[in-house]
Structure 1
Amino acid sequence: MRVSVLLAAVAAGGLFASIAGAQAEVPEAQAARLGQDLTPVGAEKAGNADGSIPAWTGGLTSAPEGIGFKGDGVYPDPFASDPVLFTVDKSNAEKYAETLTPGQKAMMAAYPDYKLNVYQSRRTCALPQAVYDATRKNAATASLGGGGDSLSGILMGVPYPLPFNAYEIVWNHNLRYRGYKLARTFASAAPTRTGYFTPIIVKDEAIFDYASPENKNFEQLDNVSLRYIQETLSPARRAGQLLLVHETVDPKKGDRRSWQYTTGNTNSAPRVQRTSAVAYDNPQIYSDAMSTADSFDVFSGPLDHYNWTVTGREERLVAYNSYKLSAPNLKYTDIIKAGHLNQDLIRYEKHRVWAVEAALKPTERHVYHRRVAYFDEDGGNMVGGELYDARGGLWRVQEAQIIQYYDVPTCFNASDVVYDLVEGRYVVQNLKNEEKGVDFHADRLTDGMFVPDELRRRMNKR
């Protein structure tokens, strides 16, 4: 079994497989396990030994009755009546040490009131049947070469449902299904140490080209996996800033393409210009320099600056089914507090994750010399991570709060946060409590809207 071979290699002391050449396709006997003892995306169907992780029984594919779902992109909590099973904090962290990440332990050491409220684990992740069908095909045809950047034989579904190395696991995150055309408005905030913040409200739209039902093969993408446009709505000093990104797959075939229009520049006339600042370790927009461009969406972009290895498959407490944090009755002041988010609003569950480590290549430069990332087996989402500086010290901690968008269906981060342990501050992205719901059926989006001229059109309308 491909997965079992990978786990055996990890147990033996590390990743055994080189990705210099293309990986062999999965034998049909192993691909046939999808939907049998494995879920359609390659996770173990069975629960764990003590029952704290249940078996996957199909996930949540529609809104449960009686929760008040209106189909407007706002997702009521299907599990609002679930009680807290136990709480982990600094006083009892040692008891639960095996299920805590180093980042969570560091947060408890830094903030005495930081805690994890742990609930019943629910394996809600599910995807459309068309994505499952595409995943089954990918299992038989997918390959990976070029140092982990050359993908082929994949389309729409999970690229590598039976992963052979860390690169395939990370690609499963980068190309995970989030619908085809999406539009939303969200808030980002970087509070001071005392908790003061001014929310930055952003409208963004995306076409996930990899998920297009019209594509016939991977080559048809022309190395572009998604197109993304972002417009800042407030505060006034930032309103009107525009960003356009074409996310590429293989950096050897072409870098990420991005254009921006920034207001308030008195040194030159306003104009749309090509930029290389939205990649790798350049500061992420709106993060107050507490996060990097490749930490947008927890991780995004090429893998080529690091050597990636799998360190294990682990049972961890992760922010999962955290609908309470997304509730529309909350104000941002209810969520954003000094030091960290309001932990009473975040639901934690035990789930199996792939633990992956990235070590900076000697030939590359990046502010993070080592990264550790955790990927949920059911959805492929990166659910958390640790970021280390050049001296080997733990610098920043990442967390993604996952929910199942049950009417699509798909599961990914409803919000995410980067905690800077040095600054004693953090940046949170994608809060939507005071905004409109997510539109997963943004059919109005067209190819002609994701070109530099669209930025000029919007700029001239102001």
Structure 2
Amino acid sequence: MKRRFLFATLMCFVFPATAAVAPEDIARLGKDLTPVGADKLGNGKDIPAWKGGLPLDTSHQPGAFHPDPFAADKPRFRITAANVAEHRSRLTDGQVALLQRFPDLYFEVYPTHRSASYPDYVYKAIKTNAGRAELMKYGAGVTGATMSSPFPVPQNGLEVLWNHTLRFRGHSMAYTAVASSVTQGGQRIDALREYEYFIQYSIPGAEPADLDNKIFFLKRKTLAPAQMAGGITLVHETLDQVRSPRKSWIYVPGQRRLRRTPDLAYDTADSNTNSIRTVDQVDMFNGAPDYYDWELKGKREIYIPYNAYKVHQGNLKIDNILQDHHINPSLLRYEAHRVWVVEAKLRLGYSHRYSTRRYYVDEDSWSIIYAEEYDEKGELWQVTEAHTINYYDIQLVYPTLEVTYDLESGRYYAEGLDNERGATINFSRELDANDFSPNAIRREAVR
């Protein structure tokens, strides 16, 4: 759906003012707060203190699957529809709804490992960002930041959201994976895709003025099935998402031309997802935040997908991962962690298929782990899980699998299934902005 009355509506709302983090709060980073701004201490029960996370493994081969550093752990307990009331205080509304909707689903809760870690130069960048980063007018973007999350001590929901959007994701990455939409009866529609990213925002040594209003460049190419093979989506993601929206192009093999797509945003259906997911649900949330009012609800302790190395392994068959109604729960791992909770309410005068959205953001990585979407009647419609791991060959936290469940239809969509490909994400691929120009894509398309 399209924006309506954008400028007039924007002028009717007061967005949270923000300035750089206070010097006394910056001084807390690396002391009572971790270098990314999380509480360093544990809760004295089942959440331990952060002690640096997983160390860098220089022996790991780029693109190889990551052995599970916690393979010896045993589940502490299992949460099911039958005992969900006992654990309600540490579950989200979406988790409860999933267990009630699918009685054979369960969550295996394991010991908590605060494994999130980043390179020292990322920690340095976060501290620098804290002293100079500011939200743009209307929360449309961020100024004064590079490399990673800009607000380690957030004051409002928009700052938490931008911490997720701008979290460190390496400098470039390339991988091939299956995305699958699964019907209520268990039938699958699989698409094999090739992904390439160049993260301009994290160029080493770059200053904010060097970024040319770019966060990253993305090329997504469909390899199979045959009727969709050769289709390419090209995205130039911007830092100012409202006054200078993302640029995007689509190449359709049958048309044999690359065309601009100004509507590749907001609640446009994400291609090949059987309309389960919208474009702004990719990576849990992306794009301009201007359709919603964002409220920071505070922190909670909940059980979330974490250290998902079991489902990450290359020798797994996709048939063993995707079950009729949900992902195979025996392959998933949940742990107790603290999360920031942010709620977004659709603004008057705007149209989007989700009226309310709630996000749960891991304090140790600024990654959105859970997303919950509500329809116009206020009924919970969808729940999305990000099953993350620490890619310890470069030290960053990123999903190995994202799953969106449609509670109304009983369908779900899974993305990131690289298990049968022989390789996972390669963060060492040599890429730059020139590889993502429209002319480069045109040349590739005709080869």
Alpha-carbon shift at residue 64 of structure 1 (Å): 10
Which runs of structure 2 are paired with 1:161-310 in the superposition (5 Å)?
A: 161-216=152-207, 218-264=208-254, 269-310=255-296
Deviations 1:202-228 (A, max 9, x none): 001011111111412x23222211110
Q: TM-score, normalised by structure 2?
A: 0.94
Which runs of structure 2 are paired with 1:84-103 in the superposition (5 Å)?
A: 84-103=75-94
Aligned match of 2:298: 312
Give me the whole-angstrom Cα distance separating, in 2, the residues matched to 1:164 and 1:19: 15
Which runs of structure 2 are paired with 1:327-342 in the superposition (5 Å)?
A: 327-342=313-328
Q: TM-score, normalised by structure 1?
A: 0.91
| Correspondent of 1:60 among 54, 59, 62 | 54
Alpha-carbon shift at residue 72 of structure 1 (Å): 3.6
Contact map agreement 2:183 2:411 (CA 8 A) in 1? yes
Contact map agreement 1:19 1:144 (CA 8 A) in 2? no
Give me the whole-angstrom Cα distance separating, in 1, the residues matched to 2:344 and 2:16: 20
Aligned match of 1:451: 437
5+ unaligned residues in a row in structure 1: which ranges? 1-17
Contact map agreement 2:401 2:416 (CA 8 A) in 1? yes
- In the alignment, structure 1 residue 153 sits paired with structure 2 residue 147: no
Aligned match of 1:439: 426
| Correspondent of 2:15 among 15, 20, 45 | 20
Give me the whole-angstrom Cα distance separating, in 1, the residues matched to 2:42 and 2:119: 22
Alpha-carbon shift at residue 70 of structure 1 (Å): 4.3
Alpha-carbon shift at residue 73 of structure 1 (Å): 3.0
Alpha-carbon shift at residue 156 of structure 1 (Å): 1.0
| Correspondent of 1:370 among 328, 334, 356 | 356
Alpha-carbon shift at residue 255 of structure 1 (Å): 1.2
Deviations 1:74-117 (A, max 9, x none): 11111111001100001110000011110110011111111100
Contact map agreement 1:40 1:132 (CA 8 A) in 2? yes
Aligned match of 2:10: none
Give me the whole-angstrom Cα distance separating, in 1, the residues matched to 2:98 and 2:212: 42
Give me the whole-angstrom Cα distance separating, in 1, the residues matched to 2:75 and 2:242: 49
Contact map agreement 1:41 1:378 (CA 8 A) in 2? yes
Deviations 1:308-346 (A, max 9, x none): 001120001110001001111111100001111101100
Q: Matched residue of 1:190: which SS? A: strand
Give me the whole-angstrom Cα distance separating, in 1, the residues matched to 2:163 and 2:19: 17
Change (3 A) 1:176 1:255: same
Contact map agreement 1:319 1:400 (CA 8 A) in 2? yes
Alpha-carbon shift at residue 196 of structure 1 (Å): 2.1
Contact map agreement 1:19 1:148 (CA 8 A) in 2? no
Contact map agreement 1:180 1:211 (CA 8 A) in 2? yes
Aligned match of 2:9: none
Contact map agreement 1:123 1:378 (CA 8 A) in 2? yes
Any runs of at least 4 consecutive aligned residues in structure 1 with deviations exceeding 6 A, and if so which?
none
Q: 1:439 is aligned with what amino acid?
A: N
Alpha-carbon shift at residue 153 of structure 1 (Å): 1.7
Change (3 A) 1:452 1:370: same
Contact map agreement 1:178 1:412 (CA 8 A) in 2? yes
- In the alignment, structure 1 residue 343 sits paired with structure 2 residue 329: yes
Give me the whole-angstrom Cα distance separating, in 2, the residues matched to 1:274 and 1:202: 21
Q: Matched residue of 2:122: which SS? A: helix
Q: 1:325 is aligned with what amino acid?
A: V
Give me the whole-angstrom Cα distance separating, in 1, the residues matched to 2:89 and 2:342: 17
> What is the number of residues matched between the two proteins?
434
Alpha-carbon shift at residue 19 of structure 1 (Å): 6.5
Aligned match of 2:35: 40
Contact map agreement 1:249 1:301 (CA 8 A) in 2? no
Give me the whole-angstrom Cα distance separating, in 1, the residues matched to 2:398 and 2:237: 18
Q: 1:389 is aligned with what amino acid?
A: D
Alpha-carbon shift at residue 404 of structure 1 (Å): 0.3
